[in-house]
Chain A
Amino acid sequence: MEIAYFPGCTLRASAIGLDDSVRDTAAAFGFDFKEVPDWTCCGATFNLAVDNIMALAPPIRILANAKTVGDRVVTVCAGCYNVLKRANYTVRNDAEKRKKISDFIEMEYEGDVEVVHYIEFLRDDVGFDRIGKELKKKLDQVKVAPYYGCQLLRPEEELQFDDAEDPMLMDDLLKAMGCDVIDFPHKVECCGAFLTVCTDLEARSAAKDDDTGGAVSECSYTILDAAVKRGADFVVLSCPLCLYNLDSAQDAIEKEHHGFKKIPIIYFSQLLAVALGLDPKKYALDSAHHYVDPSGVVKAKVLS
Chain B
Amino acid sequence: MAAKTSGKAGNAAVDESPAGMVKIYIMGKQYAVPEGLTIQKALEYAGLTLLRGCGCRGGFCGACGTVYRTEGDYKLKVALACQTVVEDGMYLTQIPFYPANKAIYDIEKLTPSLESLVQAYPEFMRCVQCNTCRKVCPQDIEVMQYMATAMRGDIAKTADLSFDCIMCGLCASRCPADTVQYYVGILARRLYGKYVAPEAKHLADRLGELDTGKFDKEIDDMIKMKQEDLRKLYDTRDIEPAEETTETEAVSATEAGTDK
**Known contacts A9-B152, A13-B152; is-contact A54 B145 (Cβ 8 Å):** no
Cα distance A12–B114 in the bound complex, in angstroms: 12
CB distance from B121 to the nearest CB of A (A): 16
What does the 1/0 interface line of A3-46 toward B look like (CB < 8 Å)?
Answer: 00000010011000000000000000000000000111101000
- B151: Cβ under 8 A from any A Cβ: yes
Cα distance A55–B128 in the bound complex, in angstroms: 7
What does the 1/0 interface line of A146-185 toward B look like (CB < 8 Å)?
Answer: 0000000000000000000000000000000000000000
Partner of B129 from A12, A13, A57 at Cβ < 8 Å: A57
Interface centre among B128, B148, B151 (most CB of A within 10 A): B128
**Known contacts A57-B130, A57-B131, A105-B131; is-contact A38 B152 (Cβ 8 Å):** no
Specify which chain B residues have a CB less than 8 angstroms from the CB of A290 in the assembled complex.
none
Cα distance A13–B115 in the bound complex, in angstroms: 12
Cα distance A38–B2 in the bound complex, in angstroms: 38
- B89: Cβ under 8 A from any A Cβ: no
Specify which chain A residues have a CB less than 8 angstroms from the CB of B148 in the assembled complex.
9, 39-41
**Known contacts A9-B152, A12-B154; is-contact A54 B130 (Cβ 8 Å):** yes
| Structural contact, A41 and B151, CB atoms closer than 8 A | yes
| Structural contact, A9 and B151, CB atoms closer than 8 A | yes
| Structural contact, A61 and B154, CB atoms closer than 8 A | no
Specify which chain B residues have a CB less than 8 angstroms from the CB of A39 in the assembled complex.
148
What does the 1/0 interface line of B127-146 toward A look like (CB < 8 Å)?
Answer: 01111000000000010110
| Structural contact, B130 and A40, CB atoms closer than 8 A | no
Specify which chain A residues have a CB less than 8 angstroms from the CB of B142 in the assembled complex.
38
Specify which chain B residues have a CB less than 8 angstroms from the CB of A41 in the assembled complex.
129, 148, 151-152
CB distance from A77 to the nearest CB of B (A): 13
Cα distance A58–B176 in the bound complex, in angstroms: 15
Cα distance A13–B152 in the bound complex, in angstroms: 7
Query: Closest residue to A107 on the B side, CB-wise?
Result: B131
**Known contacts A38-B145, A41-B148; is-contact A57 B153 (Cβ 8 Å):** no
Cα distance A43–B151 in the bound complex, in angstroms: 12
Cα distance A104–B20 in the bound complex, in angstroms: 38
Specify which chain A residues have a CB less than 8 angstroms from the CB of B144 in the assembled complex.
40
Query: Closest residue to A12 on the B side, CB-wise?
Result: B152
Cα distance A61–B151 in the bound complex, in angstroms: 17
Partner of A58 from B128, B152, B153, B154 at Cβ < 8 Å: B128
| Structural contact, A57 and B152, CB atoms closer than 8 A | no
What does the 1/0 interface line of B145-162 toward A look like (CB < 8 Å)?
Answer: 101100111100000000
What does the 1/0 interface line of A36-77 toward B look like (CB < 8 Å)?
Answer: 001111010000000000110110010000000000000000
Specify which chain A residues have a CB less than 8 angstroms from the CB of B129 in the assembled complex.
40-41, 43, 57-58, 61
Specify which chain A residues have a CB less than 8 angstroms from the CB of B147 in the assembled complex.
40
Cα distance A61–B148 in the bound complex, in angstroms: 13
Specify which chain B residues have a CB less than 8 angstroms from the CB of A13 in the assembled complex.
114, 152-153
Specify which chain B residues have a CB less than 8 angstroms from the CB of A61 in the assembled complex.
129, 131
CB distance from B75 to the nearest CB of A (A): 11
- The contact sample of 28 A-B pairs, CB cut-off 8 A, is A9-B148, A12-B152, A12-B153, A12-B154, A13-B114, A13-B153, A38-B142, A38-B145, A39-B148, A40-B129, A40-B144, A40-B145, A40-B147, A40-B148, A41-B129, A41-B148, A41-B152, A43-B129, A54-B128, A54-B130, A54-B176, A55-B128, A57-B129, A58-B128, A61-B129, A61-B131, A104-B130, A105-B131
Q: A38-B145, A61-B131 provided; 7 other pairs, C-beta below 8 A?
A: A12-B154, A13-B114, A40-B145, A41-B129, A43-B129, A54-B128, A58-B128
What 7 A-B pairs are tightest by C-beta distance, nearest first? A40-B148, A58-B129, A9-B152, A40-B129, A12-B152, A54-B128, A38-B145
